Chain A
């Protein structure tokens, strides 16, 4: 179990959660439900998470399959330096981003999924300690 690289899975989960947030946000704003502005927030948060998580991180050993067109996003993500490299920052960021979406029914699943991704990032840190 110690050989498993969880970071790759956390990355996939966060990317999927971003997409779920965007979808939930669209459903919420299109239906003009009460508190639909949470839906609008969810779309923005989803787009941000997707862009952040699009570059696939390099594996410890073995070759990494890059996502198509990832090098453009990598240049942008690298600009923020330690804020994006550090898994602790990512875990906390995802957790904070997921909370506002939890208030609306349409986006509650996005919250759950992003929280799980954040949990896996925290698991990596706990594992390393």
Chain B
């Protein structure tokens, strides 16, 4: 916005000072140039949040020590969407202004400065201007591409038909190629010989043939058309005396600024995609596939040189299931120094996961817990991309963290718990409140073993207050339920009904006075909104709750 305003301001002031009568056009040009500046900036910035590997690296590196800066990275998707909306609005302004320009170029064709005209002759049909010049044609194509991309990027489409959004959004590359051609038309020119032909100068050749008195001449010709180059306007507006032209004005096309703006981020993005492609080209080795209750499947695998931090996610690509689709899943177990295995838990929800499950777990053996060894030879090839960062990595960097999971949303916290089971001392975290809300009692069996082991470990190390587990069963049919006979610790921490958040927050605030508590939520939107609101409320104990949010489409 700032660039548009300053550009508009400078153009308007020079134009108004020098040209009470403008030969070619005024407002249309200003608006189109100003909106072009904004578009330059946004088209270059919009690519940066999509360099996910770079963002994951920044999140984990020592170069970003401040938590506030890392929290900015959480908002990268929102930033991308904001830039997109800005591009949409200012493209509208730009197109409208140029349509007016096209008309003006043809109607007000200037015979004095033939080079400055975009039209080839007076009253050229503006539609011809639009479709037969390079900027015009590329502009029209870009608008069509932008139209397709924007209509497919609305929230409703992303939530219901993600494929349409994904396939049309890949047209961005066409958009950038067209943009590069669009500015190469050389329409905007600046005058190269301002010293020998300053604006407002008098051409002696023309006046010698006319017998008019000098003062009259001055008053008529002082309003000479101002060439389009605005490079040195200030000096000439102050001159009190009039200069004599030595030669005819010469014009040269401006260097397309857009190339400078977009080349950096575009190269960065292309480099990142190339790096990700090379990195993900080697398939993983699937060690085991485990079927869990409530339609959840766990896959454990190994890959050479794969390192991940707890809380990060990967995308799975299985060509036997779908050649083009990639699906993101949070890691539930990260590779450590001693153990290279990592794993994901997938909930079987859509057609991709269903087909994936059918390939890995043939229908006959879907009831049993672990797949017989003999089937492992027939596993399909699986490629992973990542790991990519997420806000949940931050939970180990708070002294006190509150982690709330809804259903399958427990997966990011599972990797945190696995890491704590391995070794909790290197991290800043000293107390973890873990709340898990599920609809079905069987869902708790996904990580019941992990939770019990963790609980026992901290009891034995004499740190019983390190992890506070609360499990909630939100829907019940009245029958008393338990998770399993052997899970004593969990059964005593199982509550029926929804959690009472206000009481919980008050309790945490009371026992952690004056501290900053990191709140993390992975679950339905309504849960997230409630927690966000409660985190922002003040409490009488001086405890600050910082809400960290991840947005899923």
Contacts and interface: CB of A to CB of B under 8 A. Distances in A.
A13 B103 contact: no
Interface of A: 1, 3-6, 8-9, 12-13, 16-17, 20, 23, 27, 31, 33, 56, 59, 62, 64-65, 105-106, 108-109, 112-113, 116
A5 B160 contact: yes
A125 to B, nearest CB: 18
Contact of A16 (B96, B147, B156, B163): B147
Interface string B105-140: 000000000000000000000110010000000001
A105 B99 contact: yes
Contacts, number: 70
Contact of A8 (B127, B140, B148, B160): B160
Given A13-B151, A16-B147, A105 B156 contact: no
Contacts of A108: 127, 130
Nearest to A113: B147
A118 to B, nearest CB: 13
B164 A9 contact: yes
A13 B147 contact: yes
Given A5-B161, A9-B164, A65-B156, A16 B150 contact: yes
A9 B147 contact: no
Contacts of A1: 163
Contact of A12 (B92, B140, B154, B351): B154
Given A12-B156, A109-B143, 5 more contacts: A9-B151, A9-B161, A16-B151, A20-B147, A65-B160
Contacts of B351: 3
Contacts of A17: 147
A33 B151 contact: no
The interface residues of chain A, by DSSP majority, are classed as helix
A8 B161 contact: yes
B96 to A, nearest CB: 5
Q: Which 6 A-B pairs have the closest CB atoms?
A: A12-B151, A13-B151, A105-B126, A65-B156, A16-B151, A9-B164
Contacts of B36: none
A109 B163 contact: no
Contacts of A65: 155-156, 159-160
Nearest to A108: B127
A69 B92 CA distance: 26
B382 interface: no
Contacts of A116: 144, 147-148
Most chain B CB inside 10 Å of its own CB: which residue of A56, A106, A109:
A109
B102 interface: yes
Contacts of B164: 4, 6, 8-9
A23 B88 CA distance: 14
Contacts of A56: 156
A13 B351 CA distance: 26
A16 B88 CA distance: 12
